[in-house]
């Protein structure tokens, strides 16, 4: 049995982070759980009230792995995280950022530039936390349990065989469709999300059932929660690809961003 934990990690502790858990018992990947925050994922279903508005918190590697093990019934093999990670302290753009930007910049999927403050200490502590419990950062083919850095934009380009990054960030809908009204923009966003969910559901059974689209009149924080969960599932998918040799590490000896090696058609 193979198990992957995907995390769409916020660059600050004030913002929530999406989490997704997938497993393969031999017949393909299945989504076990997806949550819009660490707190929601760590809730073991003991009767706590549903989270109405997700909050940020500091990730605790041990608690996340323990919860994932309980939910999956097996050890986690790979943790795939959307956050700049490095074996050495991050002070600016890394070799992995430059490689991804060279390969995907023309398709509008360059990386953001990390710094000593964003994600800064949060990145170091997340990496060190997983390393302490047996998940060292992997910059080449993972051997044993591993922590991987992933980046949803190029991953979705490969998943959708797209010419450029997909317009799926809710905070950018005015930029995506500047000449359209609010209703049309929202319809376009939900259509893009629906397309991504359909593609992911082919790769991971249960995605469509677990990720119903928000309504047209959803509030901003509700849209962001859906987006965070969607990104977490993408992270988990890339981690699963890496586990079976379908992803490549782009970077150097200190950092690498994993991207699926071929488009899914």
Cis amide prior to 119 (ω within 30 degrees): yes
pLDDT tens readout for residues 10-59: 998 889 999 999 999 999 999 999 999 999 999 855 455 556 678 777 88
Taking 70 as the threshold, does the pLDDT of residue 241 lie above it?
Answer: yes
For residue 92, is it within any domain?
yes
pLDDT tens readout for residues 122-171: 999 999 999 999 999 999 877 789 999 999 999 999 999 999 999 999 99
**What total of structural domains would you count in the chain?**
1
Cβ burial of 88 (10 Å; 0-12, 13-18, 19+) is exposed
For residue 124, is it within any domain?
yes
For residue 224, is it within any domain?
yes
Residue 104, domain extent:
2-260
- For the entire predicted model, the pTM comes to 0.94
Residue with the two structure tokens 């990690």? 9
For the segment 197-213, the average pLDDT, to the nearest whole number, is 97
Cis amide prior to 94 (ω within 30 degrees): no
Direct distance between the N- and C-terminal alpha carbons of the chain, in angstroms, rounded to an integer: 26
Share of the chain above pLDDT 70, in %: 95
Q: How many CB atoms lie within 10 A of CB 57?
A: 16
> What is the per-residue DSSP string for 42-62?
H--SSSPPPPSS-------HH
For residue 265, is it within any domain?
no
Phi and psi angles of residue 213, each rounded to the nearest 5 degrees, phi first: -65, 145
């Amino acid at each position: 049995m193979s198990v992957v934990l995907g995390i769409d990690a916020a660059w600050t502790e004030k913002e929530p982070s999406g989490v997704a858990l997938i497993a393969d018992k031999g017949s393909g990947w299945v989504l076990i759980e997806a949550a819009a925050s660490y707190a929601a994922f760590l809730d073991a279903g003991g009767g706590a009230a549903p989270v109405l508005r997700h909050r940020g918190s500091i990730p605790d590697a041990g608690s996340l792995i323990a919860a994932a093990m309980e939910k999956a019934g097996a050890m986690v093999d790979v943790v795939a995280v959307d956050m700049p990670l490095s074996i050495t302290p991050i002070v600016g753009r890394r070799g992995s950022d430059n490689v991804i930007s060279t390969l995907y910049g023309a398709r509008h999927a360059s990386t953001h530039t990390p710094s000593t403050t964003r994600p800064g200490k949060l990145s170091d502590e997340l990496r060190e936390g997983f390393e302490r419990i047996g998940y060292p950062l992997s910059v080449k083919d993972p051997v044993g349990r591993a922590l991987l850095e992933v980046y949803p934009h190029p991953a979705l380009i490969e998943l959708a065989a797209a010419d450029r990054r997909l317009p799926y960030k809710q905070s950018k809908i005015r930029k995506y469709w500047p000449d359209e009204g609010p209703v049309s923009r929202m319809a376009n966003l939900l259509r893009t999300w629906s397309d991504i969910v359909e593609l992911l559901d082919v790769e991971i059974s249960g995605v469509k059932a677990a990720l119903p689209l928000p309504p047209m009149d959803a509030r901003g924080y509700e849209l962001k929660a859906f987006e965070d969960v969607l990104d977490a599932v993408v992270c988990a998918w890339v981690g699963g690809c890496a586990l079976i040799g379908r992803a490549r590490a782009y970077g150097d000896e200190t950092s690498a961003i994993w991207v699926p090696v071929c488009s899914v058609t």
